[in-house]
Amino acid sequence: MKVVIAGNGVSSITLVKELKKISDDADIEIFTDENRPFYWRPRLIEVLANEASIDEITPYDEKWYAAHNVKLHISDPVVKINSNEKEAISKSGLKVKYDAFVFANGCDPFILPIPGKDLKNVYTIRTYEDVVEVKKHYGASKKFVIIGGGILGIEVAAALNRAGEENVTIVEYFPYLLPRQLDKPGAAILKTYLEKRYHLKFLLGKATSELEGNENVEKVVFSDKSSVEADVVLFSAGVRPRISIARETGVEFERGIVVNDRLQTSVNDIYAIGDVAQHRKKLYGTVPPAVEQAKVLANVLSSHDKKYTGSIMSNMLKVAGVDMLSVGMVDPDSGDYTFVSRGDMNKGFYKKIVTEGNKFAGAITIGVKKANALKLKKLVDEGSPANSPLTKYVEF
């Protein structure tokens, strides 16, 4: 079977590994627009912090690809699909026939459509090349401003500090950090800790309306007319699935490429996995669902009867000294849920458990040992009953 994949991120590489586990039959061709083979994208944070090199986060060499029956085309994205002829066309003009075509081409970072967004020294972080550009400013630029106080924004800010940058400000539209992963008390505890440990500055409840400067960015201006000076601005305001080729191919899309439980799109023999896929109305944007989807697709392509029924959202912060986990329902607003929480602002400790009926439905932990937090995650992931033997890990 000939499988052609657009993208060489974690969903693509997992699909390759799983196909190989099931059988040696798949003949795989991967196209990527990046100029290097797969690397662990989340570990770009370590590269930004000067704690790892690109080689250290690039696990597989040419021999690995060959051993997995993969022909890899770097710097050569798929630009068109002729679904009637079952043929993919790359930027360099290669035409490849497929039995199965897989969109595993991820997301673009979202850049606020505001005046000044095209000024110099304004960046996003998605690829190794982005990291290289930002690192050129180390020691030379003084004021870094990150727009977006989500997981990625916080990780980037802490990495800049670990690389020696002392003047880092995070701007967040919501009145508290990580609005999707935390509740207000948890966010306040996290913010206090990040201020102390990484000397980060926060501007919360600020809607960015403009970037000012002549050639280079100089200032970030907010809707309330206040502003903060900036030599470098990093947008970390979410991502958008790359759907343009799917759209031109006639594949159904909404916010992402719409897939069913077998990861099939609306067009025969075309599939989508990872950040680009929208399953049961949901976009995930994290590694675990991308891996789960790729595993199911490997089975589907090998004619095994497997279904993907969705993933429970969970996030961990990769910031040294701050163990934070958020999983499932964390801030319930209906009478179906009950919760219990306890925190200590000075110690940087917070724990919240949410149950629905007699089942674990969500949790937040800050400053709880990672191993114990992961046991708690398991309870939520499995929807365990509140009297499970693992319940000792939720004791307060």
Ligand X SMILES: Cc1cc2nc3c(=O)[nH]c(=O)nc-3n(C[C@H](O)[C@H](O)[C@H](O)COP(=O)(O)OP(=O)(O)OC[C@H]3O[C@@H](n4cnc5c(N)ncnc54)[C@H](O)[C@@H]3O)c2cc1C
Residues that bind ligand X (CB under 6 A): 6-12, 31-34, 41-42, 44-45, 77-78, 104-107, 125-126, 152, 242, 245, 274-275, 285-287, 290, 318
Nearest distance, CB of residue 277 and ligand X, angstroms: 8
CA separation (Å) from 226 to 149, 223, 271?
Answer: 18, 7, 47
- Rounded Cα gap, residues 199 and 23, in angstroms: 52
Q: Considering beta carbons, is residue 41 or 359 the nearer one to ligand X?
A: 41
Q: Which of 233, 235, 208, 211 is nearest to 148 (CA)?
A: 235
Instruction: Give the residue with the Cβ less far from ligand X, 156 or 329.
Output: 156
1 neighbors 24 (Cβ within 8 angstroms) = no
Q: How far apart are CA 132 and CA 137, in angstroms?
A: 9
- Alpha helical stretches, state H, 175-243: 184-198
Q: Which is nearer to ligand X, 242 or 279 (CB)?
A: 242
| Continuous segment of H or E residues that includes residue 369 | none
Q: How far is CA 21 from the centre of its chain?
A: 26
Element (H, E) at 373: helix 370-381
Q: Is 20 helix (H, G, I), strand (E, B) or coil?
A: helix
CB-based contacts of 303: which residues, under 8 Å, 6+ apart? none
State the nearest-atom distance from the C-beta of 273 to ligand X, in Å: 7
Specify the residue, 165 or 275, whose C-beta has the smaller distance to ligand X: 275
**What is the DSSP-derived secondary structure letter of residue 23?**
-
Closest approach, Cβ 212 to ligand X, in A, equals 27
Please say which residue, 203 or 294, places its beta carbon nearer to ligand X: 294
Q: Which is nearer to ligand X, 171 or 290 (CB)?
A: 290
Minimum CB separation of residue 229 from ligand X in Å reads 25
State the DSSP code for 256.
S
Least separation in angstroms between CB 225 and ligand X: 32
| 102/379 with CB nearer ligand X | 102
Q: How far is the CB of 318 from ligand X (least distance, A)?
A: 5
Min. distance of Cβ 195 from ligand X in angstroms? 22
